[in-house]
Amino acid sequence: MATITRREALQRAGLMTATSALGSSIFVHPLANISDTESDPHDLIHKWIRSARIVIAEGYNPPFYPSFDYEPEKALAIARQLNADSIRFPTASYFAYFPTKTKYPIHPELGGRDPLRRTVELFHEAD
């Protein structure tokens, strides 16, 4: 097995992340030599990285903290209004924002709701 530098490992990890976000349009094995691929995926990946429009939700701010006022439908409406193609949902900060079987404390206002699952469903349906 050939050794790679830390920089090469990070570049390949970034490439894998971007590749998975792009779907099946390109595939590069994580241990493959990037220069050995038939077509250079860098242009496509750099284009995606530079054009991603992400709505970032933080667990330390409203609508997650101090009270839980998050509504998946409103998040989708905001993402559409901003022409976003991604959302970062905070899974946890002081509390977990989805039902979990771990020992991490679940937000006391969550009740029986699963806003993470509903967010994923809504955004997939809107795709």
Asked if residue 78 lies in contact with residue 55, where contact means CB atoms within 8 angstroms, the answer is: yes
Residue 23: domain span: 6-50
User: What pTM was computed for the model?
Assistant: 0.59
51's tokens: 């054009």
- Domain match, 64 and 78 both: yes
- Domain match, 67 and 38 both: no
Count up the domains in the chain and report the number. Answer: 2
**CA 89, CA 59: separation in Å to the nearest integer?**
8
Counted residue by residue, the chain has a size of 127
Cα 18 to chain centroid, rounded? 11
Asked if residue 85 lies in contact with residue 52, where contact means CB atoms within 8 angstroms, the answer is: yes
Asked if residue 87 lies in contact with residue 54, where contact means CB atoms within 8 angstroms, the answer is: yes
Q: pLDDT digit string (tens) for 83-122?
A: 888 889 998 888 999 999 999 999 999 988 999 999 999 9
pLDDT recorded at residue 125? 92
